[in-house]
Amino acid sequence: MAEVEETLKRIQSQKGVQGIIIVNSEGIPIKTTLDNSSTVQYAGLIHQLVMKARSTVRDIDPQNDLTFLRVRSKKNEIMIAPGESKKSNSLSGF
Amino acid sequence: MFTDEALDSVSVRSLWRKSQQSEQESRDCQTRAVHSAEAGIQTVFTTLSCTQTEPQDQATEQLLQQNHNEPEPLGLKDFLQRVEEAVIRELVRNARSHAFDGFQVNWGDRSQLVSCLHCLQHPITQERGLHVTSVSWSCTGSVIACAYGRIDDGNWSTERSYVCMWNLDRRGLSPSQADLVIDVPTAVTALCYHPSQPALIAGGLYSGEVVVWDTSRTQDPVLALTGMSADSHREPVYQVAWVPLQKKGEFGVLSASSGGRVLVWTVDSDQGRFILNAAYALVQQQVSHSSSVSFKARGSSTVGVTSLALSPWDSDTFLVGSEGGLLLRCSFSSKVPAATPSDGQSVTLRAPAVFSFRPHSGPIHSIHCSPFHRNLFVSAGTDGLAHLHSLLQANPLLSLRVSDSYVFQVQWSPTRPLVFAAATGQGEVQIFDLGHRSLRPAATIEQRGAGQAASCLSFNCQNPHLLAVGNTDGTVGVWQLSADLTEQSPRESSQLEQIANQVAE
């Protein structure tokens, strides 16, 4: 429990991190450092993107799997680390 | 010998022709008699009640509650342990990477030129030679309202004037005829559209009155008028603005006049009048002077307000520029009573000035707070310079030479943090980009016709490509800006931050 908080704190303290959201396999956010409305918005949108990216990778090569996804925009960057298919995904904003 | 003979006629029966009459039957029917009955009732007593929901922010879904007493979701700890290293590695690499420096992608077509889309004018105002004193875009971004009057008149004038509106998104837009014209008894000196209701527009008149027009009413568009009461201004109102009041969603009208008063009104639309909510008076003695300024003014001790700006970051702060060049930071919640005798006002006058910046050498025509940084604002006046100030320091951070004559209005661009535009007395609009190394303007909009000044300008917040410029020959030009003046580049916010953190020498 404390380890989870510690880990989040370590990631949050990196340079340029605006917030962290942890989402479960259904796309529902379970931990977040951003405000409610942004969290819900990000979680909904990113979940679909991750599912699509993962299915793309696996369709090309079934032995392969998605390890990391980065979406870079003009103003900032979203970095996504997916978990196993039954577990959670994690997102962090740059 | 010849006798008449009478013969029988012969008839031949037709073999094929038969009677066309078909079978026929007839029947009658009738419904049974309809029963009807009548009864009367009357209400003995009535009650009336209404309900209304408050406008609410969008409802957000509930997150799965983070209950600290509950055990963690299974596997969260393991997942984080696994993933943490990778994430931190990528973050560190990102912070050091130069891969995307200067890399820009554009999805849409970029226009390279600044071009004039429309040149709007109205025949009556052209005939009478009225100047455009103020332009304002509606909150939807499609209607532009222009106020006419005179900017060179020093005397009281009783000339009638107009406020004209054009809807630029309409197909039948006619640039030489306004869509809607409102008659006003005196010259209009300030105009401001309501920030959320597209039909309401507030105006300040040369006679000191403040009016709110409702353009959705077909007959008399005047919704509320201050009239000449003890509460109202006695001098021309140079700025009106809508300020949010305590109750969320309600707006009051703020008006500032050269009589030294700043008043906040609430609109009572049923009775068609304004109710004074708060009143501030600026008096020479109460304005805190910085030590470099030590003149003693004789004569009238009021500080005539010629421009006012609200801060979008802090609802308590507002900035005031005066006829004498004083630039002050004021607060709505100040409790200090003003040192003028109150002449029958319904609300006690307060002195709002908190801090005074280095004065300009001439009346300040325009102030605008940056929508991208909480401490920056730009001010311009008759000295032909645009000064960039920080709210925290008395001296300006940067002074740019805009033109050799007066500067009538400056405004920050709503999309690019480093860009602002200035309307000059020589008829040009200079657009400056603080990201450029040189101090020369990034773009200059020259209007045709010599000898006329650009008296006001306004960016359109909904369509950031559009800029409206009003001139003293009574025309309003709507210009389309090029893409590099409207699209934000990646490092602008940090550059603005750097400029703001400079310490003025």
Instruction: Find which of B82, B94, B101, B493 to mutate to test the A interface (most A CBs within 10 Å of its CB).
Output: B94
pLDDT, tens digit, 9 for 90 and up, residues B408-456: 999 998 888 888 999 988 888 888 888 887 778 888 888 766 668 888 9
Instruction: Please give the interface size between A and B, counted as residue pairs whose CB atoms are below 8 Å apart.
Output: 91
Say what the pLDDT of residue B64 is.
46
Close Cβ partners of B66 (under 8 Å, ≥ 6 residues apart) = A30, A31
Chain B residues inside the 8 Å CB shell of A88: 73, 75-76, 79
Helix (H, G, I), strand (E, B) or coil at A38: helix
The C-alpha atoms of residue B154 and residue B268 are separated, in whole angstroms, by: 33
Pair of tokens at residue B252 = 């009051």
What's the complex ipTM?
0.78
Smallest CA–CA distance, residue A17 to chain B, in Å, is 8
Say what the pLDDT of residue B101 is.
73
Q: Residue B442: what residue type?
A: A
Residue B192: band (very low, low, confident or very high) from pLDDT cuts 50, 70, 90: very high
Residue A29 and residue B92: Cβ atoms within 8 Å? Answer: no
Residue closest to B208 by CA, chosen among B221, B190, B196: B190
Pair of tokens at residue A67 = 């390890």
Say what the pLDDT of residue A33 is.
87
Q: Other C-beta atoms within 10 Å of B460: how many?
A: 20
Chain B residues inside the 8 Å CB shell of A77: 94
Q: Other C-beta atoms within 10 Å of B78: how many?
A: 12
Say what the pLDDT of residue B294 is.
43
Query: Which of B60, B75, B84 lies closest to A87 in CB terms?
Result: B75
pLDDT, tens digit, 9 for 90 and up, residues B316-358: 888 998 888 888 888 888 888 777 776 666 777 888 888 888 8
Say what the pLDDT of residue B286 is.
72
pLDDT, tens digit, 9 for 90 and up, residues B236-259: 888 999 998 887 778 888 999 888
